[in-house]
């Protein structure tokens, strides 16, 4: 399949999933008890202006599918609605916070990739008690929820030792990195443990392959064989897991941001849910799902570069 045809087909599938999820997110309003208007305005009641604003925003006077189409049209034009609680456009609320979440997820992704691959490779190649120790640590890491890690990190490194700030996302640059170190660690522990497991299994399997024997019998340096033949071939499962992991980190950030009181999308979402700020809830969930789906699609695309045997589009 040509690259263009592949991208077209892939984009088509992506659009379909996004259309369905947007429909579900829109439909949520009608799953809620009571009329949409009463639900959105909630116990706050609402002034006539607010009622008019909500009616216009959700096109409540139109038939259902027209409403959905109009709502979707608004979103595509970048109009994500208006927050009743913040009295602000949702799009500006989100754009002010997306940077923090992005920084947090990126830092966590780097930590996961580096620690997971290094620990897994180390365990597989060294064997013996180093392997035992790594595997046990990974099993415990995998069983530890991010918020427990977060609380533990705060009590040790922020409250106890005072090395890091307890809360907040800093003022940018290096300060942000310092502020995000503990949150990123908390977010990455379980995923790093999982990646370490996958890497270990994959490296063990690849080291036993026949082509590695060929490389050995040709007298190539052991370090080169590990890098060029074992790790390079292990990349296929590693990238799969890493991609899936980064996608779930976007959701995991919701929890971690609340532990560290970071001003990101996750804390915005939880606050919006508790305050019944429905336009914000819809918009943030839509952003999370879009990010999740897009990251997964990118990973699928990357496959074709990692494994030349996989033709474009041959795996879904």
Partner 1 sequence: MTTPSTTSLAVARAARERRSAGFARTTADRLGVVGSIAAGILLVIVLAAVFAPIVAPYDPDYPDLLASLSGPSPAHLLGTDALGRDILSRLIWGARITLAGPGLVILIATVIGVLLALFAAWRRGRADTVITWLLDVLFAVPGIVFGLIAVAIWGPSLVTVVCGLAIAYIPYVARVVRGAALRERNMPYVSAAWLQGQSGTGITFTQILPNVQPIVIAQAVSSLGFAVIELAALSFLGLGVQPPTADLGLMVKSGFDSVLRGHPTEAIAAGALIVVIVWCVTVIGDRLTSNARSMR
Partner 2 sequence: MTEPLLMLDDVRATLRLRGGHQTLLDGVSFEIHAGEALGLVGESGSGKSLTTRAITRMLDPAFRVSGEIAFDGTSVLAMNQAALRRYRSTDVGMIFQDPRAHVNPVHRVGDFLTEALVRERGVDRREAERRAVVLLDEVGVRNPEQRLRQYPHELSGGLLQRVMIASVLLAEPKLILADEPTTALDVTAQSDVMAILDEQRRARGLALLFITHDLELAAACCDRLAVMYAGEIVEQGAHVYHAPTHPYTVELLGARPSIDQRVDRLPVLRYDRETHELLKAEAS
Which residue ranges make up the site for partner 1 (CB under 8 A)?
17, 20-21, 28, 31-33, 139-140, 142-148, 151-152, 154-155, 159, 166, 190, 247-248, 250-252, 254-255, 258-259, 269-270, 272-274, 276, 278, 281, 285, 288-289, 292-293, 296
Cβ(258)–Cβ(267) below 8 Å: yes
Q: Is 152 in the site for partner 2 (CB under 8 A)?
A: no
Structural tokens at position 83 = 């927050």
Scanning residues 282 to 301, which ones bind partner 2 (CB under 8 A)? none
Among 142, 220, 270, 302, binds partner 2 (CB under 8 A): 220
Question: What does 216 interact with, of partner 2, partner 1, none (CB < 5 to 8 A by kind)?
Answer: partner 2
Residue closer to partner 2 by CB (options 44, 209) is 209
Residue closer to partner 2 by CB (options 126, 232) is 232
Residue closer to partner 1 by CB (options 184, 285) is 285
Q: Which of 192, 183, 185 is nearest to 123 (CA)?
A: 192
**Beta-carbon-side half-sphere exposure of residue 68 (alpha carbons within 13 Å):** 14
Q: Which of 24, 81, 91 is nearest to 58 (CA)?
A: 81
Cα–Cα distance for residue pair 196/114, rounded to 1 Å? 10
Question: What does 309 interact with, of partner 2, partner 1, none (CB < 5 to 8 A by kind)?
Answer: partner 2
Question: What does 248 interact with, of partner 2, partner 1, none (CB < 5 to 8 A by kind)?
Answer: partner 1
Q: Is 203 in the site for partner 2 (CB under 8 A)?
A: no
Residue closer to partner 2 by CB (options 215, 256) is 215
Q: How far is the CB of 99 from partner 1 (least distance, A)?
A: 21
Residue closer to partner 2 by CB (options 186, 225) is 225
Q: Which of 298, 316, 292, 289 is nearest to 21 (CA)?
A: 289
Strand partners, 88: 83
Cβ(195)–Cβ(112) below 8 Å: yes
Residue closer to partner 2 by CB (options 27, 222) is 222
Q: Is 312 in the site for partner 2 (CB under 8 A)?
A: no
Question: What does 31 interact with, of partner 2, partner 1, none (CB < 5 to 8 A by kind)?
Answer: partner 1
Cα–Cα distance for residue pair 44/58, rounded to 1 Å? 18
Question: What does 180 interact with, of partner 1, partner 2, none (CB < 5 to 8 A by kind)?
Answer: none
Sign of CA dihedral 162, 166, 168, 174: positive
Q: Which stretch binds partner 2 (CB under 8 A): 48-56, 69-77, 264-272, 305-313?
A: 305-313
Question: What does 296 interact with, of partner 1, partner 2, none (CB < 5 to 8 A by kind)?
Answer: partner 1
Q: How far is the CB of 248 from partner 1 (least distance, A)?
A: 5
Provide the binding-site residues for partner 2, judged by CB under 8 A: 209-211, 213-221, 224, 228-229, 232-233, 306-309
């Amino acid at each position: 399949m040509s690259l263009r045809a592949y991208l077209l087909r892939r984009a088509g599938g992506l659009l379909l999933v996004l259309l369905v999820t947007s429909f579900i997110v829109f439909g949520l309003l009608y799953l809620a008890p009571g009329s949409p208007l009463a639900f959105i305005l909630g116990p706050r009641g609402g002034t006539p202006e607010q009622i008019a604003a909500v009616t216009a925003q959700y096109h409540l006077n139109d038939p259902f599918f027209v409403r959905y189409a109009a709502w979707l049209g608004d979103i595509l034009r970048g109009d994500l609605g208006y927050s009743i609680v913040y009295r602000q456009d949702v799009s500006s609320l989100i754009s002010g916070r997306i940077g923090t979440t992005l920084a947090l997820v990126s830092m966590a992704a780097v930590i996961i990739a580096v620690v997971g691959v290094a620990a897994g490779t180390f365990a597989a190649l060294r064997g013996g008690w180093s392997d035992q120790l790594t595997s046990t640590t990974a099993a415990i890491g995998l069983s530890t929820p991010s918020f427990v890690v977060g609380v533990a990190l705060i009590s040790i490194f922020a409250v106890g030792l005072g090395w890091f700030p307890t809360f907040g996302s800093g003022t940018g640059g290096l300060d942000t990195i310092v502020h995000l170190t503990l949150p990123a660690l908390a977010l990455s522990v379980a995923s790093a443990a999982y990646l370490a497991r996958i890497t270990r299994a994959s490296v063990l399997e690849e080291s036993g392959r026949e082509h590695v024997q060929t490389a050995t019998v040709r007298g190539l340096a052991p370090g080169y064989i590990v890098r060029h033949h074992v790790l390079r071939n292990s990349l296929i499962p590693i990238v799969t897991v890493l991609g899936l992991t980064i996608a779930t980190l976007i959701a995991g950030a919701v929890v971690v941001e609340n532990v560290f009181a970071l001003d990101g999308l996750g804390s915005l979402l939880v606050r919006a849910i508790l305050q019944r700020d429905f336009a914000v809830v819809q918009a943030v969930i839509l952003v999370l799902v879009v990010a999740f789906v897009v990251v997964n699609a990118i990973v699928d695309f990357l496959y074709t570069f990692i494994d030349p045997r996989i033709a474009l589009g041959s795996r879904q």
